[in-house]
Amino acid sequence: MTSKVLVLNGPNLGRLGKRQPEIYGSTTYAELAALCVTWGSTLGLDVEVRQTNHEGELLDWLNTAADDATPVVLNAAAWTHYSYALFDACAQLTAPLVEVHISAPSKRPEEFRHTSVVSPHAVLVIEGEGVDGYRRALEFIAAG
């Protein structure tokens, strides 16, 4: 039996491969999504990958994950640093939440990036490992 996992991505991540490749790499969003599904499959996980530029949509997905006790790999992108609605949605998750960032926000020069409203609710934070951070997150969830 495979376990369902949501890989949720926030604003601008749909532009991967085009947006600041010196920071976020050259892997496109479509390639990332396919990698996550493949990695998940080899781990016995049914991975569904989603991306939105609309905060309310992400909150709805997290609320459903809370209701269904679905593990979440979350790259909330810019919302990570200021969305208290995101903080509240993450607080209600009952299955593991792994926070992922392609870059290392804690080492970026912009001070606002050093704070995460997701981290207090995450069982693991992975940052600065590029798209491979998603693989590590899925391995962590599969190891349960």
Q: Please report the domains of the chain, with CATH numbers, ordered by start residue.
A: 3-143 (3.40.50.9100)
Is the model's pTM score more than 0.85? yes
Catalytic residue among 29, 101, 121, 134: 101
Catalytic residue among 24, 29, 121, 134: 24
Residues in the annotated binding site: 75, 81, 88, 102-103, 113
**CB of 133 within 8 A of CB of 101?**
yes
The reported pLDDT for the residue numbered 25 is: 64
101 tagged catalytic: yes
Instruction: State pLDDT tens for residues 32-84.
Output: 999 999 999 999 999 999 999 999 999 999 999 999 999 999 999 999 999 99
Which of 97, 44, 60 minimizes the C-alpha distance to 75?
97
Sign of CA dihedral 127, 131, 136, 139: positive
82 tagged catalytic: no
Instruction: State pLDDT tens for residues 86-142.
Output: 999 999 999 999 999 998 877 777 877 778 999 999 999 999 999 999 999 999 999
